Amino acid sequence: MDPAELAFELSLGHEAFSLALIKRLCHVCSHGIRQWTGRNYANAQAFAVGRARRRARGRGRPAVNDPGPLAAPIPRAFAEEVALLLASQGIATELTRAAGGVHILVNRAELARASVIVVEEYPEGLVTAAANRTRARTRPPARPEADRWFGPEAWIVFVIVAACVLVFVGEERAGGSEVRTVLLDFGASRPAHVRTGEYWRLVTAMFVHIGARHLLANTLTLLVLGPALAAALGAPRFAFVYVVAGKLGNFFSYRLADPDIVSAGASGAILGVLGALGSQRIRFQTSARYRGWQVVAALLAYLAIAVGAGPGVDSAAHIGGLVAGAGIGLLLPPPGHAPAAVDRGLSAACAGTALTLVVGAYLALVRAS
Active site amino acids:
267, 318
Determine which helix (DSSP H) or strand (DSSP E) holds 103, and give its type and residue range: strand 101-107
What's the order of all strands across the beta sheet hosting 101-107? 67-69, 101-107, 93-98
Q: How far apart are CA 104 and CA 277, in angstroms?
A: 55
Q: How far apart are CA 30 and CA 129, in angstroms?
A: 20
Q: How far apart are CA 289 and CA 238, in angstroms?
A: 14
Provide the Cα torsion 170, 172, 178, 182; round to 10°. Answer: -50
DSSP single-letter state for residue 61: -
Q: How far apart are CA 252 and CA 202, in angstroms?
A: 10
Phi, psi of 63 (to 5 degrees): -85, 180
Determine which helix (DSSP H) or strand (DSSP E) holds 93, and give its type and residue range: strand 93-98
What contacts 97, CB < 8 A, 6 or more positions away?
103
